């Protein structure tokens, strides 16, 4: 079972979702750390820090997702693939920034708590969009 979850190539949506949550968790930790670092240590406004930290985490997510979650070693046009990945990520960034602002400035949550809530919501957008991008088929 461990081999199937972590090592074997798979098209199984449940195993991919498990892996995606693992990868997303790793990317989220990177994102969260740099959001805190840029905002609290460097003194950058939290929404600008959110963009910077998101960019760093997207690179981590891209490498792990294409190699491990969606098994895409054989994509012929890597430039197109990366650009589509960036497009999906950019849309996710817009969602994240809106939610971060909404939860922090409108609802009064601490910005790092807002980030956690926004990340959970945006994770579903990213998974569905990337699955369709890589496989060209419906969610299920």
Average pLDDT, the chain: 84
30 domain-assigned = yes
Q: Is there a contact between 10 and 25 (Cβ–Cβ < 8 Å)?
A: no
Task: Give whole-number Cα distances, 73 to 26, 51, 56, 64, 69, in Å.
Answer: 21, 28, 22, 11, 11
93 domain-assigned = yes
Distance of alpha carbon 82 from alpha carbon 88, whole angstroms: 10
Determine if the pTM surpasses 0.75: yes
35 domain-assigned = yes
Q: What is the mean pLDDT of residues 17-44?
A: 92
140 domain-assigned = no
Q: What is the mean pLDDT of residues 38-43?
A: 97
pLDDT of residue 88: 87
- Note the pLDDT tens digit of each residue in 69-104: 666 555 567 788 788 888 888 999 999 999 999 999
Residue 132 banded pLDDT, cuts 50, 70, 90: confident
> Above 80 in pLDDT, residue 14?
yes
Residue 36 belongs to what domain range?
2-135
For the chain, the domain total comes to 1
Stretch among 18-27, 49-58, 75-84 having the lowest mean pLDDT: 75-84
Nearest Cα residue to 47 out of 108, 115, 109: 115
User: 33 versus 87: which is more confidently predicted?
Assistant: 33
89 domain-assigned = yes
Q: What is the mean pLDDT of residues 51-68?
A: 86
Q: How many CB atoms lie within 10 A of CB 58?
A: 22
pLDDT of residue 137: 56
């Amino acid at each position: 079972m461990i081999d199937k979850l972590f090592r074997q190539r798979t098209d199984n949506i449940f195993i991919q979702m498990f892996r995606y949550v693992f990868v997303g968790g790793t990317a989220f930790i990177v994102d969260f750390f740099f959001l805190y670092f840029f905002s609290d240590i460097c003194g950058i406004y939290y929404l600008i820090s959110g963009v910077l930290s998101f960019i760093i985490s997207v690179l981590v997510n891209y490498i792990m997702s294409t190699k491990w979650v969606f098994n895409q070693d054989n994509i012929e046009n890597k430039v197109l693939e990366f650009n589509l990945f960036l497009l999906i990520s950019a849309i996710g960034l817009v969602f994240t920034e809106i939610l971060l602002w909404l939860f922090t400035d409108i609802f009064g949550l601490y910005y790092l708590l807002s980030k956690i809530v926004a990340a959970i919501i945006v994770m579903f957008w990213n998974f569905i969009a990337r699955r369709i991008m890589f496989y060209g088929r419906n969610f299920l």
